[in-house]
Structure 1
Amino acid sequence: MPGYSRADAATVDAGLRSHMLGVFRNMGIGLIITGIVAAVIGNTPALYQPIFGTPLKWVAIFAPLAFVFFFTFRIDKMTDAGARTAFYAFSAVMGVSLASIFIVFTGASIAQAFFAAAVMFLAMALWGYTTGRDLTKMGSFLMMGLIGIIVASLVNLFLASSALQLVVSILGVVIFTGLTAWDTQRIKSDYLHYAGTQATAKLEVMGALSLYLNFVNLFQLLLNLMGERE
């Protein structure tokens, strides 16, 4: 590590490991919150019928997207604890949005899609963390693809085209798999750039949000591709 003594390098490496563990810990807590909220609402008719049986379903669908924009623009003004709390609140909102999968898909399909997403996510995160290849160019390409599938998904909310949904799901799996590796490398690079500053605590939360979104989207897309409907 150029410019560092062995002691400095060891300190930075220890800090990086701690930072990445914090990122994945926050992400894991977020996924647990999402899963609990989704399962409770999705398996309780008294809760899901007033949401998904009325126009409130549009609020449930778009609320997570609005929350992400709010979170991204406001995080600089939040305390470290506030940013973490906001992320957990977002995870709960996402749980409400995902509750419909328990109505549409079988429990076995949900479990299979989750396992497949976990294996793919962990493999790509490990590669992104360990590879010496610069993934910047790949990330720029994937971000353009992400914008494309977001637009296509929004359009398909109104068209309800099964063919378009299939294309979006296949491309989406490829894009979010690649983004997992790119985001992991970016999180690592950001820490090395800001190591020793107060910014690292919020970077931990933002990193957790990025990886959380990759995993949740990968899971949903795989569920759409391989899920058996009720």
Structure 2
Amino acid sequence: MNDFRRNYDAAVARTGTVAIDEGLRRYMLGVYNYMALAVAATGLVSFFVASNPAMVQAIALTPLKWVLFAGILGLGFFAPRVIYSGSTAAAHGMFWVYAALWGLLIAPMLFAFKAAGAAVDIYRAFFITAAAFGSMSLWGYTTRRDLSGMGGFLVMATVGLLIAIIVNAIFFKSGMASLVTSSLVVLVFSAVTAYETQMIKSLYAEGAASNERSAIFGAFALYGSFVTLFVHILNILGIMRSE
């Protein structure tokens, strides 16, 4: 009887583990699918706008670019709260508006590369970004090291780099400073990607991720890291080409 009970308990434990693993796999697949769709949407918006010089000029040479920048920062701060506390429709709205704003903001950059005959750098930057993001996200998913302690440092590093980028863009406009800050952004957001992946996985393990809004929240976080990496890797390639 005792042997039967032990075997029964072991079978139940294995079944529970398999169910958790399968549920986690479906959940993470949903997160990555949403993120990939957002990247595709951003690309479509960017290339559409970049093919229209008048639209590019309207964004690049007017205060609109700062409005878009402020909108992205605002959504980056407020959208996660709305995604988790609001309706599924509100979560989708925040997510897709965020992707569209990024597409509009990136478009002048893509236009400049195409005009300079350096369109190949756009595709090179995308593949480098995909490789860096994929490897760091995989590491964050599989590592047994607790990355939660990195959160405070990554927030401070992100704020510091944001201030440095804005100051350089407005006052100094230094190519060398831009190269240094972009290089640091790539390093920091590579770490952010691993941290966010582990956080998203932990939310599921703790039972806090159980619906579509949770998958959108995870995709929102990872998408922001992906597109930030892409922009700054492209900037590095552009600076290196010009020199």
| Deviation, structure 1 residue 72 | 2.7
Q: Please report the RMSD computed on the Cα atoms of aligned residues, expressed in angstroms.
A: 1.8
- Displacement after TM superposition at 1:90 (Å): 1.4
1:98 to 90, 94, 106: 106
For 1:73, the equivalent position in structure 2 comes to 81
Following the alignment from structure 2 to structure 1, what is the Cα–Cα distance between the partners of residues 156 and 229? 17
- The farther-off stretch of 59-68 and 216-225 is 59-68
Instruction: Kindly indicate whether the alpha-carbon contact (under 8 Å) linking 2:75 and 2:94 is maintained by their aligned counterparts in 1.
Output: no
Residue aligning to 1:39:
47
TM-score using structure 2 length: 0.86
- One-letter code aligned to 2:224: L
Q: Does 1:202 align with 2:213?
A: yes
Could you report, residue by residue, the CA deviation over 1:150-189 in whole angstroms, capped at 9, with x for unpaired residues? 1111222212222321221111111011111111111000
Match of 1:131 among 128, 143, 149: 143
1:190 aligns with 2:190: no
- Structure 2 letter corresponding to 1:169: S
Query: Aligned residue pairs: how many?
Result: 224
Q: Is the 8 A contact 2:168 2:174 kept in 1?
A: yes
8 Å contact from structure 1 (residues 38, 95) kept in 2: yes
Task: Please give the secondary structure, in 2, of the residue aligned with 1:100.
Answer: helix
Show the counterpart of 2:188.
175
What stretches of structure 1 of length at least 5 have no aligned partner? none
Query: In the TM superposition, what are the counterparts of 1:159-170 in structure 2 within 5 Å?
Result: 159=171, 160-170=173-183
Match in the other structure for 2:120:
108
Q: Helix, strand or coil: the match of 1:133? A: coil
Greater mean alpha carbon deviation, residues 139-148 or residues 116-125: 139-148
- What CA distance in whole angstroms lies between the structure 2 residues aligned with 1:183 and 1:13? 19
Q: Quote the Cα distance in structure 1 between the aligned partners of 2:156 and 2:77.
A: 18
Detail structure 1 runs of 4+ shifted over 6 Å in the superposition: none
Q: Distance in 2 between matches of 1:81 and 1:14?
A: 26
Q: Give the equivalent residue in structure 2 for 1:14.
A: 22
Specify the alignment match of 1:223 in structure 2.
Answer: 234
Among the aligned pairs, what percent are the same residue?
A: 38
